[in-house]
A and B are shown apart, each in its own frame.
Chain A
Amino acid sequence: MRHIISVLLENESGALARLVGLFAQRGYNIDSLTVAPTEDPTLSRLTLVTHGNDQVIEQITKQLHKLIEVVKLTDLSEAAHIERELMLVKVKAVGEQRDEVKRSADIFRGQIVDVSATTYTVQLVGTSDKLDAFIQALSGTQILEVVRSGVSGISRGEKTLAL
Chain B
Amino acid sequence: MTSQSKHAEMLSGAAMVIRALADEGVEYVYGYPGGAVLHIYDALFQQNKVKHVLVRHEQAATHMADAYARATGKAGVVLVTSGPGATNAVTGIATAYMDSIPMVVLTGQVMSHLIGEDAFQETDMLGISRPIVKHNMSVRRPEDIPYLIKKAFYIAQSGRPGPVVLDIPKDMTIPSNKFPYHYPDEIKLRSYQPKLKGHSGQIKKAVSALLAAKKPVLYSGGGVIMGGAAAELTELAQYLNLPVTNTLMGLGAYPGEDKQFIGMLGMHGSYEANQAMHHADLILAVGARFDDRVTNNTKKFCPNATIIHIDIDPASISKTINAHIPIVGLVQPVLEEMLATVKQKKKKLDSSALEQWWQQINDWRAVHGGRYDTTSALLKPQHVIEQVSKITKGEAFVCSDVGQHQMFAAQYYKFNKPNRWINSGGLGTMGFGLPAAMGVKLNFPQADVVCVTGEGSIQMNIQELSTCKQYGLGVKIINLNNGYLGMVKQWQDMNYESRYASSYMDSLPDFIKLAEAYGHVGIRVTKPEELQPALQRAFVELKDQLVFLDIHIDPKEHVYPMQIPGGAVNEMFLSKTERT
Contacts and interface: CB of A to CB of B under 8 A. Distances in A.
B318 A58 contact: yes
B186 to A, nearest CB: 16
Contacts of B192: 68
A62 B319 CA distance: 10
Of the listed residues A10, A58, A63, A66, the one surrounded by the most CB atoms of chain B closer than 10 A to its CB is: A66
Could you tell me the dominant secondary structure of chain A's interface residues?
A: helix
B155 A14 contact: no
Interface residues of A, number: 18
A25 interface: yes
Interface string A1-29: 00000000010001001100100010000
Contacts of B314: 62, 65
B131 interface: yes
Contacts of B131: 21, 25
B426 to A, nearest CB: 15
B116 interface: no
Given A17-B127, A21-B130, A68-B155, A59 B189 contact: no
Using C-beta atoms within 8 Å of the partner chain, give the interface range for chain B.
Answer: 20 to 34
Of the listed residues B127, B191, B315, the one surrounded by the most CB atoms of chain A closer than 10 A to its CB is: B191
B216 to A, nearest CB: 27
A70 interface: yes
A43 to B, nearest CB: 10
Could you tell me the dominant secondary structure of chain B's interface residues?
A: mixed
A51 B137 CA distance: 31
A71 interface: yes
B135 A68 contact: yes
A66 B191 contact: no
A17 B136 CA distance: 12
B315 A71 contact: no
A124 B314 CA distance: 41
A18 B130 contact: yes
A107 B441 CA distance: 77
Contact of B191 (A55, A59, A70): A70
A63 B130 contact: no
Nearest to B322: A55
B343 to A, nearest CB: 33
A147 interface: no
Contacts of A70: 191
Contacts of A58: 318
Contact of B190 (A63, A66, A163): A163
Given A62-B315, A69-B191, 5 more contacts: A14-B138, A65-B314, A66-B160, A71-B190, A163-B190
What are the 8 A-B residue pairs with the smallest beta carbon separation, nearest first? Answer: A62-B315, A71-B191, A68-B135, A25-B131, A68-B192, A62-B314, A21-B130, A63-B315
Interface of A: 10, 14, 17-18, 21, 25, 55, 58-59, 62-63, 65-66, 68-71, 163
27 contacts: A14-B126, A14-B130, A14-B137, A14-B138, A17-B127, A17-B130, A21-B130, A21-B131, A25-B131, A58-B318, A59-B315, A62-B314, A63-B315, A65-B314, A66-B160, A66-B315, A68-B134, A68-B135, A68-B155, A68-B189, A68-B191, A68-B192, A69-B191, A70-B191, A71-B190, A71-B191, A163-B190
